[in-house]
Amino acid sequence: MWQFVKYVFATIVGLFIFSVLGFFLFIGIASMLGSSEDKASIDKNSVLKLDLNNPIQEIAVENPFAEFSGGQGNVLGLNDIKSALANAKLDPNIKGVYLYVQYPSVGWATAEEVRDAIVDFKKSKKFVYAYGEVMTEKAYYLASVADKIYLNPAGGMEWNGLSAEYDFYKGTLDKLEIKPLVFRVGEYKSAVEPFFRENMSDANKLQNQVLINNIFDHAIENISKSRNVPVTTLKNLADSLLIDAPQDALKYKLVSHVGYYDEVEAALRKELNLKEDDKIKFVGLSKYAKAEKQVKEGPSDSRIAIIVGEGAIYSGKSGDGNIGSETIAEELRKARKDKKVKAVVLRINSPGGSALASDVMWREIQLTRKVKPVIASMSDVAASGGYYMAMGCDKIVAQPNTITGSIGVFSVLFNFENTFKNKLGITFDRVNTNTHADWPSVTRDMTPFENNRLQKSTENIYATFTRKAAEGRKMPLAKLQSLASGRVWSGREAKANGLIDEFGGLDKAIQVAAQAAKLKEGEYRIKFPAQKNVFEQFMNKITGDAEEQMLQKQLGDFAPYLKTLKKLQQMEGTQARMPFDINIK
């Protein structure tokens, strides 16, 4: 009987291993097929279809299954979208663009770059149609440049303004009997408020109110130009909640049509001179990336290298969703030593993080600047540590709705003594060779002298931050400090205050870099980072999901508390970062 059980068990294990190996083999084959350099043939009278409801990041996740899944599950690359629109503008086989946009998972500055690329495409006199069953403000911002905007009759449109929301952890820390000890410099350095407050301070509320007002005002001004609707009307519609049903959006000229998808297709057939039963030749982003290039590249011996830093800043290697100072420093060194690279554009999308890691990257930027121009291009967020990276560059380019500034630092420690004692029954004792040998400690209260030393250390780092920022921006230290104190600014305010140089996206930053390197248009080639590998992304997701499910099963209602503790654990050393979670919606 035991032998039978062993054979059955071995068979089950063998089948499982075979299934797993077969799956990974399939992934490998699909990856090779997906990375094929074969050109895609584009039929005449085609329409470029952009599904902007997938997440959009600086660098796409290469998905070999994209063509088989209709693009679902993709992480779109901003440059891929812009390149497709630039190519389609010149492609005689592409007659127009169809935007499917409802809930774009994208920041406002990234949305600005996509929108600008659509506006540029329209210079070709080709059509742009947009459709959504529902549309958020951000979706409508993207759709507002279309020639025809269709909204589903049974759907809806969100038009009630923006709101910024933060998470606060004081209640969680109180429940766990964790004592936060905060050291900060700057009235507006609100990143620490979630640890000791249950709501925003007056200073934090002020800066956030100004920030979202600037972002929404910029959006409204652009929508007003596109739709020929006065700014005052757009603001009144948001205040009065008059856009309740799709018919209201039509009434106030926010959309051009209320219709179902089949009606959109009928309009497209008419635009393309097709018969009623003819199939529309849609071309997705992944396929069009393999189409013949209409935009010609410059010579390979003159390059502008794009280095992308996206996520929170830590020491070490970059990983999924974070910037590792070691990785960025290595990329800067490579670009500095590469004689083919004539200039560098540092693309930053980061709320900040480790002050030490930020300074390590700042140093490599300074060394690179001695050899060739380095231009900063700010994306959705380049604040605190993200600004630390940018301030060392020759020029800073940002969008009017970029979130930046937050020049300030903080340190935070947590005393877990009561948590261990009262929740787990664990106590601690120690012997030291010197008075402060165990300092800093997370299992005892620190003395006033020890607290003062940590505060002084934080102030020293802030002094370094502001001094280097003042030098980088070529302004008096006193003026820079008046703009610092952790204050968050929109790109519009940042330019008015001298914290950035020019408005624009990545393309503008590339132009500035080319000018600084004395390169004319057509005399250089852009060197973009490689796409992310879908296999690595897939494995990271499986590992992360499995860990989360295990914690949920083991800890139950305490699982969310552990998530909070993991966030706190990541904050090693003095931090130059924005608040943990700012949700603008």
Task: Name the average pLDDT for the chain.
Answer: 86
* Confidence class for position 307, pLDDT limits 50, 70, 90: very high
Q: Are strands 374-383 and 395-398 parallel, antiparallel or unpaired?
A: parallel
Predicted local distance difference test score (pLDDT) of residue 541: 45
Q: Which residue type does 16 have?
A: F
Region 429-457 average pLDDT:
90
Lowest mean pLDDT among 242-256, 371-385, 417-431, 522-536: 522-536
Region 287-316 average pLDDT:
92
Q: In the predicted model, is pLDDT for residue 533 greater than 60?
A: no
pLDDT, tens digit, for every residue of 557-585? 555 555 555 555 555 667 777 654 566 77
296 token code pair: 């010609």
User: CA-CA distance, 488 to 238, in Å (whole number)?
Assistant: 25
CA proximity to 247, closest of 152, 161, 159: 152
User: CA-CA distance, 575 to 571, in Å (whole number)?
Assistant: 7
SS3 (DSSP) at 88: helix
User: CA-CA distance, 338 to 549, in Å (whole number)?
Assistant: 46
Predicted local distance difference test score (pLDDT) of residue 128: 98
Burial class (CB in 10 A: 0-12, 13-18, 19+), 193: buried
Region 169-184 average pLDDT:
88
Q: Are 90 and 295 in contact (CB under 8 A)?
A: yes
**Alpha-carbon dihedral sign for residues 21, 22, 24, 29:** positive
Domains of the chain: 46-159+243-288 (3.90.226.10), 303-584 (3.90.226.10)
pLDDT, tens digit, for every residue of 20-78? 455 555 555 545 444 445 788 999 999 999 999 988 999 887 655 555 444 455 688 99
Q: Which residue type does 312 have?
A: A
Region 212-232 average pLDDT:
97
SS3 letters for 334-360?
Answer: HHHHCCCEEEEEEEEEECEEEHHHHHH
Lowest mean pLDDT among 166-180, 322-336, 492-506: 166-180
Lowest mean pLDDT among 404-418, 459-473, 495-509, 530-544: 530-544
Buried b (16+ CB within 10 A) or exposed e, 548-566: eeebeeeeeeeeebeebbe
Burial class (CB in 10 A: 0-12, 13-18, 19+), 8: exposed
Mean pLDDT comparison of 107-116, 418-427, 448-457, 541-550, highest-scoring range: 107-116
**CA angle (321, 323, 324) in 5-degree steps:** 125
Q: In the predicted model, is pLDDT for residue 355 greater than 90?
A: yes
Q: Are 150 and 280 in contact (CB under 8 A)?
A: no
CB count in 10 Å sphere of residue 127: 18
Lowest mean pLDDT among 228-237, 263-272, 368-377, 524-533: 524-533
* Confidence class for position 553, pLDDT limits 50, 70, 90: low
Predicted local distance difference test score (pLDDT) of residue 60: 80
Q: Are 178 and 411 in contact (CB under 8 A)?
A: no
This prediction's pTM: 0.85
368 token code pair: 């690179």
- Residues counted in the chain: 585
**Alpha-carbon dihedral sign for residues 103, 107, 109, 114:** negative
Burial class (CB in 10 A: 0-12, 13-18, 19+), 292: exposed
* Confidence class for position 555, pLDDT limits 50, 70, 90: low
Q: In the predicted model, is pLDDT for residue 352 greater than 80?
A: yes
User: CA-CA distance, 368 to 361, in Å (whole number)?
Assistant: 11
Q: Are 93 and 46 in contact (CB under 8 A)?
A: yes
Q: In the predicted model, is pLDDT for residue 387 greater than 90?
A: yes
Chain CA centroid to CA 536, Å: 19
* Confidence class for position 196, pLDDT limits 50, 70, 90: confident
pLDDT, tens digit, for every residue of 239-248? 999 998 999 9
Q: Are 490 and 398 in contact (CB under 8 A)?
A: no
Which positions are catalytic?
189, 384
pLDDT, tens digit, for every residue of 121-137? 999 999 999 999 999 99
165 token code pair: 């929301």
Q: Distance from first CA to last CA of the chain, Å, rounded?
A: 63
* Confidence class for position 14, pLDDT limits 50, 70, 90: low
